[in-house]
Amino acid sequence: MALDATTLTFLVISSLAAVLIARLRSITVTFVAAIVIGLLHDLLTPIASLTNYRDMTPFVIAAIGLLVLSRHQVMTQSREEA
């Protein structure tokens, strides 16, 4: 990974994925999520058909995680509470 401004910005975005899975509430969950994301990302490297898509790992996991975690959310909630 080269050290340039763009990559570093992207690094923050993908790190957000781990924080999101913890819903900004738990450092432990963030830590575990980050480890899982990192592991999965690197485990996908040898799989030829998926290796180009491995950078998607944090986003996909965060998206799935958020959707699963928020499935019980109640609709009637004011904007401020969200």
* Distance of alpha carbon 50 from alpha carbon 35, whole angstroms: 20
Q: Are 19 and 30 in contact (CB under 8 A)?
A: yes
Does residue 75 bind another protein (CB under 8 A)? Answer: yes
Does residue 47 bind another protein (CB under 8 A)? Answer: no
Only segment of 14-22, 26-34, 35-43 that touches another protein (CB under 8 A)? 14-22
Q: Tell which one of 11, 16, 34, 48 touches another protein (CB under 8 A).
A: 16
- Extract the tokens encoding 60: 């996909």
Residue type at 34? Answer: A
Count of positions on this chain that bind another protein (CB under 8 A)? 30
